[in-house]
Amino acid sequence: MLTTLGLGQSLQVAVVAWHHGGWAFLPPLLVALLLVALPLRLSESLLGRRAQRALLPGMAALTREADAPRFYRAWAWGTLLFSLLACALASMINAWSLTYLFHLAGSGGHFALDYNAAMMRWGILLSWVLSVGVGLTLSHHGVLRLPRALHTVAAAVLTMLVIAAAVQVAHTGFGDSAWPRIGRASTWWAALAVALPWGGGGVGLWYVAAVLMPTSVALPHLATRAFAWQGLLLLLAMLIVAPSAVLIADPRALLSFLMLDLPNVLASGSVVVAILVYASLLLASWVAMVALLEPLRLELEERDWSVPGLMACLALAILVATALLILPWHLHRLLQALQWLLAIGLAIFVGWAMKISHARKALALPQESLYNAWRVTVRIIVPLALLTLAWQQWGGGF
C-alpha cells in the first residue's frame, strides 16, 4: 500500500495472473520480485538512508560524494514529477470509487455504472477535488508518520478484503485454471512488468521512508515485511477476481480495468463484494496519495514553504484531474514509461556510480554474500531486464 497504488495495483496483478494461468503465474512473479523489485527497493532505500535529506538536495550531495556527473540529479526531478502524476492517478481512482459507492447507495442495488455518462457529470470532478484535498491535508499533518494510524487503515482494508474474498468464494468457488507452460516467454515478461511497480523503481517513496525511519530500523527487514503485506493483498485479490478475470479485456491498463471492466464484472456478482472492494479501493488510494505526496512534502518542508507549496500542488493536481476528463487513459502509459526510465537510472547510479563502501554501509545487509548478490543483480540483471522489457513492450507487447 505504501509503495504502489495499493489495492488497485494488487487487483491488476491478480487479473494479469489469471490471464497467464492463474496460480501458475506466482512462480514467475516471485522470481521477478526477487531479481528486480527487491533490488530496486533496497537501492532506493539506501540512497535515502545515506543522504538523510530531501530528494533534490540529497541527490546533489550523493553525486558530489561519488564524484558522479550532475545529470544523475535528473533522477530526483523525475521522481518528484512521477509522484505528482501518480498522485493524480490515485486521486482519479479514489474519486471513481467514491462516485461508484454514491451511485450504488442511490440506485437501490443496481450498480452497473456507465463510465461514459459519469464522465460528463460534475460529481466526479468534485470527488477529485475532495480526494486531493484530503490527501494533501493528511500529508501536511504527517499522518504517514503515525504507524498506529497507518496500521489501522491497513487492517481495515485487509479485513474488508477477507470478507469480500469469503463472500466471493462462497458464491462462485475458486474456479478452474490450468497450469500453463512455465517456459512461455510472454508469461515471464508479464510477470516482470507487474513486479516492477512493487519495487518502487524510482518513485521516491522508499527514499523518503529511509529518511523518516529511525536508523535503528534495518532496511532489508523493512523491505521484506512490506513484501509480505503486498503478497497478502495479492493473494486476497486473486481470490476475489478469479471467477471472472477472463472477462476483463485489457488487464495491463489499470484505469480501464478499474473504471470499465471491474464494475461490469462486479455488476454480475454480489452487491456485498462490490461495496467492500470499492470501499477498500477508497481507503487504499487515500493512503497511496498520502505516501505519494511525502517526497514533495519533505522537499517543501526543507525549504520552509510547505503550506504555500502544498496549496500550489493542490491547484496543479486539480488542473491535471480536469485534463484527465478528456484524455484519461494516457496517464498510466506515461507513468509506466517514466518509471522504467527512473528505475534504469536508479540501478545505474547505485550499481556503477556510487562508491562501494557507501552502499554497503547504508544497506547493512547481514551477510557479505547477500550484498554481493544484490550488487551483481542491480549492476547487470536489473538494467538488462528493464531494457529488454521496454523493447518487448513497445515492440509489440506480450
Averaged over successive runs of 10 residues, the pLDDT of the chain (398 residues) comes to 58 84 86 92 93 94 94 93 80 80 74 61 65 69 61 76 80 63 81 84 83 86 82 83 73 74 77 84 80 81 71 66 58 79 93 92 90 94 91 64
| Per-residue pLDDT at 398 | 44
Cβ atoms 190, 18 nearer than 8 A? no
Cβ atoms 202, 39 nearer than 8 A? no
Whole-prediction pTM: 0.86
The 8 Å CB, 24+ separation contacts for 372-378 are 374/39, 374/42, 375/351, 377/35, 377/39, 378/39, 378/40, 378/42, 378/43, 378/347, 378/350, 378/351
Question: What is the spatial distance between Cα 299 and Cα 286, in angstroms, rounded to a whole number?
Answer: 20
Q: What are the residue boundaries of the structural domains of the chain, listed by start? A: 7-394
Closest to 33 in 3D by CA, of 187, 223, 198, 220? 198
* SS3 letters across 330-388: HHHHHHHHHHHHHHHHHHHHHHHHCCHHHHHHHHCCCCHHHHHHHHHHHHHHHHHHHHH
| Per-residue pLDDT at 51 | 95
Write the single-letter amino acid at 233.
L
* Range 7-394 classified under CATH 1.20.58: no
Closest to 393 in 3D by CA, of 330, 337, 334? 337
Write the single-letter amino acid at 188.
W
